[in-house]
Amino acid sequence: ICVVIMDVRGIYSLSPYTLEEVVARNYLITERPDAILNIIDGTNLERNLYLTTQLTELGIPVVVALNMMDVVNKNGDKINTEELSRQLGCKVIEISALKGDGVMEAAEAAIAAAGGEKTVPQHTFSGAVEHAIAHIEECIVHDLPEEQQRWYAIKIFERDDKVIEQMDIPADKLTHVEGDIKAAEAELDEDSESIITNERYLWIASIMKGCLKKA
């Protein structure tokens, strides 16, 4: 088997603000690798899981490598990787890059995932948001492969300029879905991008509650 590994710069979000984030996102959505090995810091789960929630929406198989587990264990903390895997909808492997523990297992899991099922996101947003996302999928992104539709619909809901420009969406279609976006904003009293950010972190907090026990 010939395996090509592309190492993208460490990023925290697919809503890019830095050049590194722009380059990494463009690679993921245009080149569409066969699998993503998402290496996250086990000592800082909350911050790192934000990106993971976005990666699982890309319609690409994802494997999470939970790094620095030697430090987690030394601190006396406990991470329930089985439950974390269930919540995220993808395989989670404990590793310590410093000690080399679990590294080959994580790489082999990513290779296996490349030939398997695409990761299906487990998270749903509140009712008004899901209504708007469904309308965007139906109106604008229905021609895309099914597994890619949700990610693009969420980005359009956020009014992501780069995605809207890339897709060259007609103004009348954007106007058509704008009413649903504004309805969600009015109901939740937030702008659309903040709604998505806040609801991601609320979900991550619920994951942390069920998966992490501090010493």
Q: What is the pTM of this model?
A: 0.92
Judge contact between 38 and 11, C-beta under 8 A: no
Beta bridge partners of 100: none
The separation between CA 143 and the C-alpha centre of its own chain, rounded to angstroms, equals: 22
Q: Is the pLDDT of residue 215 over 90?
A: no
More confident residue, 21 or 132: 132
Quote the pLDDT of residue 153: 97
Q: Is the pLDDT of residue 9 over 80?
A: no
Q: Is the pLDDT of residue 19 over 90?
A: no
Q: Is the pLDDT of residue 16 over 80?
A: no
Q: Is the pLDDT of residue 81 over 70?
A: yes
Give the span between the Cα atoms of 149 and 124, in whole angstroms.
14
Quote the pLDDT of residue 213: 94
**What's at 37, amino acid-wise?**
L
Give the span between the Cα atoms of 99 and 88, in whole angstroms.
26
Judge contact between 84 and 60, C-beta under 8 A: no
Give the span between the Cα atoms of 37 and 67, in whole angstroms.
12
Q: Is the pLDDT of residue 42 over 80?
A: yes
Report which of 126, 125, 49, 38 is spatially closest to residue 84, judged by C-alpha positions.
49
- Express each pLDDT in 166-206 by its tens digit: 999 999 999 999 999 999 999 999 999 999 999 999 999 99
Quote the pLDDT of residue 1: 67
In this prediction, residues 137-161 reach a mean pLDDT of: 96
- Provide the pLDDT confidence category of residue 7 given band limits of 50, 70 and 90: confident
